[in-house]
Structure 1
């Protein structure tokens, strides 16, 4: 194997490549004309017999297997749609071409094939090959065919190899692509307009999270990777677009675990003249529709549990959820009493809580969140942890905010959006005070956004949905790394001699 760090070249394959190039063989041609995909051949010739078809076909893809029987070779070719068997005979190719194929084309190489369709004696639809062309020489060896990449970490680091050898992995990302496409179609059909907002921002906002920072040399300015597109999308509502959405890459400088990746994908949507009740209805219908249309059912299996996305879904206030799960009536206790309860149960974050609302949120996370297996809307959040949500119309100290939980995971977060500029300014100032005291997840003051609200934003409902987690649920994967093509990973340790050379 090649000793260069990070390269997995097989020296014998490299030598073969060099010999081909020295002999004038075009190892990496520019183009190949193909007429069909593997799946299309199976669809077009369902009744083919043992005689070759009159119609010729041309396919291209990777060679996955190669089984030699003297003057005859059986091989499997795979493309983006599936696989098809090749039947290669010396008498058909000619001695020179057959010898070239046998000697120089290996498993893992990408080839183009022309020939006719027939069915083998064992009943497999195959291509009777007339011509085979090398299109790309692979000089890295594929993993053993029956097991693929066996180390999970290697699968994530070398996703390209995982996709070559792991049909399940390919199926996950096929489904992810379809889900994203159906999401766009659903919103477009309902009059939503898709926009792109800045990824690099002078002020981060839209969520309570620690940002990634960078620096623009020309502007001589510190900038941030966005943690959410919310504040820019709401500027568009101010500007007169009444239904907007963005499928956005967000970045949060936080821990990595099975449910979190520093770079993740969300869809956020905002609708003028709507409130959080409307957004719950939208979220419920959107997700159940996408799940049904892409998986064929409204029921999925996740962590060995059957989860039904059949509507309607359960709705319960945060107060009632804590009361049902823990028997605690938040507003029947003083802050000191709540602190004592939190200490008795060793609840994380209790040291920072100073109000009933903050304890309510902590008790919910501790007693309730993990128990929410079936889709459940939790609504009416305390104002302390909802700086962008509108105050509740009837419940002092609360906001019109909801979160959707499935399988113990937060899947969506929505509000009746705060559109009072003076209230928003005050909320930002409270957040900034927390930030100044060391809360790394508190939000900055975005005066330009406050100014935008000063021009008038209509009553608006908004919601954000985590696409990665939605795909996790749809595919039954309990790690977010399984549904992100190239997840964030710790750097690999280099050998000491590599470090010295560097």
Structure 2
């Protein structure tokens, strides 16, 4: 915007000050939210509301004003004959779109059937020095929408709606777990090792302790320490950090809900997750039917259950059980011209290779809610081996619209087996697999004090919101996504 426009608005502030008007008042007492006032019957007086002005339409003897906030908006009417000429003219001179006002007045409905508050008096509550983006063109720059999310929230109904949905969803999830007698806990973000997931960490340095630390990639091993310590059902809303590539499906900083129940297996957790998702849909959208890719999907119907092996066999004809060696599997994929576009494919372990194959050939086609089970053990270093086939794990993922939205296991509680698997992961890491898991002696020590049978689950808030609102990119599902530093500031 031009400096002249800003200077003009600053002059208006000075004009108000010269009249003895408080330009930064400390408060304004309201008796209705904007969305509540818009539902009131005509004739109710003494209605007090406040908001940001997002529209002004001037006529010779009256002015229509629209004020809004995240929950909704309300039309106001300022009439010269009702408030007096001086007040009416003052409004025209010093108030701009973007400013905040508080008003008191009487509710009525206009001829065009719009609920409106007739202003008896108004109070200036704050000046916008910068002009808002032009209403009809709005914010067309994606970069601006992420970098200046506050403007996106003022101007874009879709953004307001989606991010309000996020808040409702978080509230519903928390309520669900509390009603299921899970205790909410908090675990450390700064950790000595990166365990609990296959991902590359962000590193930082603690000067007083003179040691390098990682930002956590998952809260898993600390939540399991709590089960060792006597908790039986825990969950956490955990900020996690993964130093991975940028894509429409991934955030480097995201919110994960993770939880564990002692004495359960993964089948108990499958029932819990279905129950949770139905509860969240009802609480957030007032329905269990969501439209995805033009299809109405009713989550209250039965969900498909399919094994990892059957899925890949069905989609590309490769039986992964016939290729226990990673080199042989890679050879078979090349023979069938399956290119998974990974720069360092030769250094991958078998688990990560199978995972990339599944993500390339199967996952994009999975639209309806599907429980994917029986993952290869190489893919799940912390999951319990299946009793009948030790090459598989007791694990499931819930996939909807080509996205993994929940991941859950019967947990590995045998410290000797856990040590073997972490040693195998450490070997992969030393051979160049950057996403392999680190050795975690402290967690192994905790395990050696004894663990009961456990089942655990984890899911990302942003990923779940992305799927349920059919967002094009996960950045739309977080209030302030990370953007490149703006060098112009």
TM-score (norm 1): 0.91
Q: Quick check: 1:183 aligned with 2:176?
A: no
Q: Quick check: 1:283 aligned with 2:273?
A: yes
Alignment partners' CA distance in 2, 1:147 and 1:238 = 57
Q: Quick check: 1:346 aligned with 2:342?
A: no
Aligned to 1:26: 22
Q: Is the 8 A contact 1:361 1:382 kept in 2?
A: no
Q: Is the 8 A contact 1:302 1:477 kept in 2?
A: no
Alignment partners' CA distance in 1, 2:151 and 2:373 = 44
Q: 1:207 aligns with which of 183, 186, 197?
A: 197
Q: Is the 8 A contact 2:70 2:160 kept in 1?
A: no
Aligned to 2:473: 479
Q: Is the 8 A contact 1:37 1:79 kept in 2?
A: no
Deviation at 1:372, TM superposition (A): 1.2
Alignment partners' CA distance in 1, 2:191 and 2:443 = 13
The alignment of Structure 1 onto Structure 2 pairs a total of residues equal to: 484
Q: CA RMSD in A?
A: 2.0
Aligned to 1:390: 384
Deviations, residues 182-235 of structure 1 (Å, cap 9, x unaligned) = 001111001100001111112221101111111111111111111101111111
Deviation at 1:462, TM superposition (A): 0.4
User: Quick one: structure 1 residues 59 and 338, their matched pair in 2 at CA, closer, same or farther if it must change by over 3 Å?
Assistant: same
Q: 1:141 aligns with which of 111, 117, 131?
A: 131
Deviations, residues 405-461 of structure 1 (Å, cap 9, x unaligned) = 111111111111111111112211221222222322122222111111111111000
Alignment partners' CA distance in 2, 1:68 and 1:347 = 60
Q: Quick check: 1:491 aligned with 2:485?
A: yes
Aligned to 1:39: 35
User: Quick one: structure 1 residues 130 and 334, their matched pair in 2 at CA, closer, same or farther if it must change by over 3 Å?
Assistant: closer
User: Quick one: structure 1 residues 361 and 35, their matched pair in 2 at CA, closer, same or farther if it must change by over 3 Å?
Assistant: closer
Q: Quick check: 1:13 aligned with 2:17?
A: no
Q: 1:154 aligns with which of 138, 144, 154?
A: 144
Deviation at 1:327, TM superposition (A): 1.9
Deviations, residues 19-57 of structure 1 (Å, cap 9, x unaligned) = 433554311111110111222223331xx2xxx44x311
Alignment partners' CA distance in 2, 1:414 and 1:310 = 20
Q: Is the 8 A contact 1:435 1:443 kept in 2?
A: yes
Deviation at 1:329, TM superposition (A): 2.1
The more displaced of 147-156 and 288-297 is 288-297
Q: 1:238 aligns with which of 219, 222, 228?
A: 228
Alignment partners' CA distance in 1, 2:260 and 2:143 = 38
Deviation at 1:490, TM superposition (A): 2.3
Q: Is the 8 A contact 2:305 2:372 kept in 1?
A: yes
Residue pairs, 1:314-333, within 5 angstroms: 314-333=304-323
The runs of 5 or more residues in structure 2 that have no matched partner are none
The more displaced of 235-244 and 70-79 is 70-79
Aligned to 1:403: 397
Aligned to 2:158: 168
User: Quick one: structure 1 residues 72 and 376, their matched pair in 2 at CA, closer, same or farther if it must change by over 3 Å?
Assistant: same
Q: Is the 8 A contact 1:372 1:408 kept in 2?
A: yes
The more displaced of 442-451 and 176-185 is 442-451
Q: Quick check: 1:93 aligned with 2:89?
A: no
Q: Is the 8 A contact 1:210 1:252 kept in 2?
A: yes
Q: 1:461 aligns with which of 447, 455, 462?
A: 455
User: Quick one: structure 1 residues 209 and 359, their matched pair in 2 at CA, closer, same or farther if it must change by over 3 Å?
Assistant: closer
Alignment partners' CA distance in 2, 1:353 and 1:79 = 50
Q: Is the 8 A contact 1:285 1:311 kept in 2?
A: no
Alignment partners' CA distance in 1, 2:111 and 2:375 = 67
Alignment partners' CA distance in 2, 1:329 and 1:268 = 32
Alignment partners' CA distance in 1, 2:272 and 2:5 = 51
SS at match of 1:191: coil
User: Quick one: structure 1 residues 411 and 76, their matched pair in 2 at CA, closer, same or farther if it must change by over 3 Å?
Assistant: same
Q: Is the 8 A contact 1:403 1:413 kept in 2?
A: yes
Q: Quick check: 1:443 aligned with 2:434?
A: no
Residue pairs, 1:47-126, within 5 angstroms: 48=42, 52-53=43-44, 55-126=45-116
The runs of 5 or more residues in structure 1 that have no matched partner are none
User: Quick one: structure 1 residues 334 and 160, their matched pair in 2 at CA, closer, same or farther if it must change by over 3 Å?
Assistant: closer
Alignment partners' CA distance in 2, 1:70 and 1:9 = 24
Aligned to 1:271: 261
Q: Quick check: 1:419 aligned with 2:413?
A: yes
Alignment partners' CA distance in 1, 2:222 and 2:16 = 55
